[in-house]
Amino acid sequence: MASGGGRTLSEHASKQLLAGHGVPMPDDRAVGSVDEAVEAAEAIGYPVVCKLGGDAIAHKTERGLVRLGLVDAGAVRHAAAELLAAARPDDGAVHLLVARQVRGSRELIAGLSHDAQFGMTVMIGVGGILAEAVADVAIRLVPIDRVDAAEMLDDLATQALLGPFRGEPPVDREALIDLLVGLSRAAEADPSIASVDINPLIVVEGRPVAVDALVEVRA
Amino acid sequence: MSGRSWQPTTEHFLALFEPRGVVVAGASTHPGKFGFVALHNILVAGYGGAVFPTNRDGGEILGVPALTDIADVPDGAADLVFVCTPASTNPDLLRAAAAKGIRAAFIASAGYGEAGEEGRRAQDDLVALAADLDMLVVGPNGQGVISTPASLCAQIVAPYPPRGRIGIVSQSGNFVSSFQNYAIASGVGISRAVSAGNAAQVGVVDFLEFFADDPETDVALAYVEGVVDGRSFYERLRAVCERIPVVLVKGGATAGGARAAASHTGSLATDDRVFDGMCRQAGAVRATTIEEAYEAAATFATQPLPAGPDVLIVSTAGGWGVVTADAISRTAPLRLLPMPEDLRAELDTKLPPRWSRNNPIDMAGGETKDTIPDVLATAARHPDVDAVVFLGMGIQGNTAKMEREGRFYPDHGLERIVAFHERQEARYTGAAAELVTELGKPVLTATELAVASPDNAAVRGVRESGRYCYPSSNRAVTALGHLVRYSGWRQRRGLGL
């Protein structure tokens, strides 16, 4: 989603910025060493996911810098060592991001982006690997209020995804509304935000959790 | 659009839509010229004010003496000049018009922004001059303006529509004609219509704001291909939607359409999902097609806003109710009202046992001569019902038509039965109209006879009640969906119905 002219924050910095605007995040920690990664995992509780992070790293999955389903200290130690070894000189300063691995069968996307004609917009959509092909999104102009946010949810074509789903409870609409209004407020409060891409926004026991997020700030 | 330092006022728009007199500049004796057609259309539509054709040669055109100089128009006798003269002569013309007290100009002349660098300069100069003269300038390169309360048909194209409550503004002149054609076909008419042309000084949203103020207009209908200042467009559109419903149809919604729009009006491509969200947020009703847009506007103009999404189908017979139930179920946010128990019990006393006992109400052909209006009224009055789709009208009228036109008429008792059938159709559609007034709920009548046999007694009955006769139940459901969506948008924001 980076559209030029700006720079992207690391996943960790992105999440810290968004957490300040009420975006729910899984418990995570940024650490510098293999030992610290194990320590973080023990504190968070297994299973965890471990990623290599840094301001210059935007496409972790494509580069194989995400390790999922780490169930014990040995797995974390092994993954953390491999990730640090995979860092390239042009990645600059890097860190290890250790996070609780959340589970949910529904993935959404949410974000902010700038439209040349209408300015800052806020978006919610159906996520997952088919997200682009499905293209089920609802967009509004910043700022939005709770009524606008609720209407965005109503606009999604795939309403079945918001109800009870595969043994999981319905999506907590108020939590999604909080998240969308929070994004809109973030855009208003912080003009340096050029775009936000929360993908995936996984529905965990009905509650949305931003598992990955990327914030682009203006240069 | 250069600068918004000059703002049009209601007085400027009234000079355009309700002028005391009209000057047709560049009036021609040649029936193929715009300067002839515009004058012709003004005269034949029955405009009541004074008409002053002007041209270089003088003489008489269509029985009206032409003036060789706009200076010869009596001071204060005209408020509007309709301009068909070459672009290069227009600055002097506008100065002379302003000196006569003219406050509005419609510029049909081409050779402006659509015609390269030089044209763009001429257009910018025109806008600056108009601001100096405190004059509303519509166009250039537009097809004209219609105002039925003033019987004004100042346009270089046909037709002239019936009077009604829909205000139209379009970035494409030919769609003004399309909407007018729909007005003629349906009988649901228009208050004002204007082709914005190149929209040099005033554009779509300026007219929408006037329509919101206009006592002659209840709903606005606009065709747009592009917007110049998106943020300001949104904010102004939203303020208009808080006052009157606005139906928008946008050209260039797809990649292929956007390329065509770029060459038509020079509009930039828009992310259609953003435009769509902007409409939802602003409360504007977005239609996919010109036909759907007119039907939505005609429905806003002739039916009350439903208080909620629960729709009841009342059908005299057949599968109409079934496919309409499908259409309602597919059209968010409409709901097919589950048949209320008390209504079912009450209808059991009025209908034979084979009636559907459900929504859709299928009367199953078991009616006496009073059954249809009685069942319709009972159903529509139920407090859980927000809107009614009324189906199966025109069957008796259709039979009557065939019998009236057949060789046995009027013998064998045909004269009497034909009259009975037609009276019954008038009763049914009259009952539907009275219920709308009584209950403040929409009752939409749909039959393909609206197209197939517009002289059918049922179709005539709907139209004589001032309402739209929908050519299919699917189209009625689509229109109703727009009403319910707008009604919900208002209620969720505490704006009331």
Domains B1-146 and B304-492 in one fold: yes
Contacts of A117 in chain B (CB under 8 A): 227, 230, 268, 270, 274
Write the residue in A116, A138, A147 that is nearest to B492 by C-beta: A147
Q: CB under 8 Å to B145, separation ≥6 — which residues?
A: B16, B17, B82, B106, B138, B152, B154, B155, B192, B193, B194, B195
Checking if the pLDDT of B484 tops 60, the result is yes
CATH number of the structural domain B304-492: 3.40.50.261
Residues of chain B positioned with their CB less than 8 A from the CB of A150: 492
DSSP 8-state secondary structure symbol assigned to residue B198: T
The answer to whether B201 and B136 have CB atoms below 8 angstroms apart is yes
Q: What's the pLDDT band for B367 if we cut at 50, 70, 90?
A: low
The residue-averaged pLDDT of A174-181 equals 97
Which residues, listed in sequence order, are joined to residue B146 by a DSSP beta bridge?
B153, B193
Residue B266 has pLDDT above 80, yes or no: no
Q: Which CATH class is domain B161-302?
A: alpha beta
Contact indicator for A58, A13 with CB cutoff of 8 Å: no
Looking at residue B4, its pLDDT comes to: 63
- Between CA A105 and CA B19 the distance in angstroms is 65
C-beta atoms of A137 and B274 within 8 A: no
Banded model confidence at residue B334, pLDDT cuts 50, 70, 90: very high
pLDDT at position B482 is 98
Q: Which residues in chain A have Cβ-Cβ distances shorter than 8 Å to B252?
A: none
- Across the range B431-457, mean pLDDT stands at 97
What are the CA-CA distances from residue A55 to residues A31, A200, B160, B196 (Å)?
A: 14, 19, 65, 50
| CB contact B383 to A (< 8 Å) | no
pLDDT digits (tens, 9 = 90+) for B6-32: 999 999 999 999 999 999 999 999 999
Whether pLDDT at B1 is above 60:
no
Q: What is the pLDDT of residue A130?
A: 82
Say yes or no for a CB contact (<8 Å) between A119 and B492. no
| Residue B187, phi-psi category: left (phi > 0), alpha (psi -120 to 50), beta (remainder) | left
Q: Say whether pLDDT at A103 is over 90.
A: no
Q: Note the pLDDT tens digit of each residue in B380-422.
A: 999 999 999 999 999 999 999 999 999 999 999 999 999 999 9
Closest in B230, B489, B492 to A119, CB measured:
B230
Are the beta carbons of B171 and B204 closer than 8 angstroms? Answer: yes
Q: Is B230 on the interface with A (CB under 8 A)?
A: yes
| Dist. CA B201–CA B130, nearest whole Å | 8
What are the respective helix, strand and coil percentages of chain A, to the nearest 5?
30, 30, 35
Instruction: Answer whether B333 touches A (CB < 8 Å).
Output: yes
> Hey, is B67 helix, strand or coil?
strand
Confidence of residue B366 (pLDDT cuts 50, 70, 90): low
SS3 for B264-289 is HCCCCCCCHHHHHHHHHHHCCEEECC
Q: What is the 3-state secondary structure (H, E, C) of B342-367?
A: HHHHHHHCCCCCCCCCCCCEECCCCC
- Under the banding of pLDDT at 50, 70 and 90, the label for residue A1 is very low
What is the average pLDDT across B178-200?
Answer: 97
- Which tokens is B108 given? 């049909």
Locate the domains of chain A by residue range: 27-100, 104-218
CA B275 to chain A, closest CA, distance in angstroms equals: 8
Q: Is residue A28 within 8 angstroms of chain B, CB to CB?
A: no
The verdict on B330 touching A (C-beta cutoff 8 Å) is: no
| Mean pLDDT, range B29-52, rounded to an integer | 97
Of B268, B274, B280, the CB nearest to A151: B280
Round the average pLDDT of chain B to a whole number and report it.
95
Partner A contacted by B326 (CB < 8 A): no
The C-alpha atoms of residue B375 and residue B336 are separated, in whole angstroms, by 18
SS3 for B467?
A: coil
Residue B378 has pLDDT above 80, yes or no: yes
Please tell me which of the candidates B274, B280, B332 has its beta carbon nearest to residue A118. B274
What confidence score (pLDDT) does residue B449 get? 97
| Greater pLDDT, B12 or B251 | B12
Strand order of the sheet with strand A95-100? A28-31, A95-100, A48-53, A66-70
Whole-number pLDDT of residue B2: 42
Closest CA to B92 of B48, B52, B125: B125
A150 contacts A171 by C-beta, under 8 angstroms: no
Q: Which amino acid is at B45?
A: A
Query: CA of A99, closest CA in chain B: separation in Å?
Result: 34
Q: pLDDT class for A79, splitting at 50, 70, 90?
A: very high
Per-residue model confidence (pLDDT) at position A28: 87
| A:B CB pairs within 8 Å | 51
Q: Over the range B454-491, which residues count as b (16 or more CB within 10 Å of their CB) and which as e?
A: eebbbbbbbbebebbbbbbbbbbbbbbbbbbbbbbbbe
Convert B170-194 to b/e letters by CB count within 10 Å (16 or more is b): bbbbebbbbbbebbeebbbbbbbbb
Do B274 and A138 lie within an 8 Å CB cutoff?
Answer: no
Given a cut of 70, whether residue A3 has pLDDT beyond it is no
Identify the CATH number of the domain defined by range A27-100: 3.30.1490.20
- At A2, the pLDDT band (50, 70, 90 cuts) reads very low
Long-range CB contacts (< 8 A, 24+ apart) of B341-346?
Answer: B342/B382, B343/B378, B343/B379, B343/B382, B343/B384, B346/B378
The pLDDT value given to residue B369: 82
pLDDT above 90 covers a percentage of chain B that reads 90
* Per-residue confidence (pLDDT) for residue B329, from 0 to 100: 96
**Cα B370 to Cα B358: distance, rounded to the nearest angstrom:** 21
Assigned CATH for B1-146 = 3.40.50.720
- Which of A139, A148, A154 is the closest to B274 by Cβ? A139
Give the distance from residue B203's alpha carbon to the nearest chain A alpha carbon, in angstroms: 16
B392 φ/ψ sector (left φ>0, alpha ψ -120 to 50, else beta)? left
Q: Are strands A193-204 and A213-218 parallel, antiparallel or unpaired?
A: antiparallel
Pick the CATH number of A104-218 from 3.40.50.700, 3.90.1580.10, 3.60.21.10, 3.30.470.20: 3.30.470.20
| Domain residue ranges in chain B | 1-146, 161-302, 304-492
Q: Which of A80-94, B117-131, B325-339 is least confident? A: A80-94
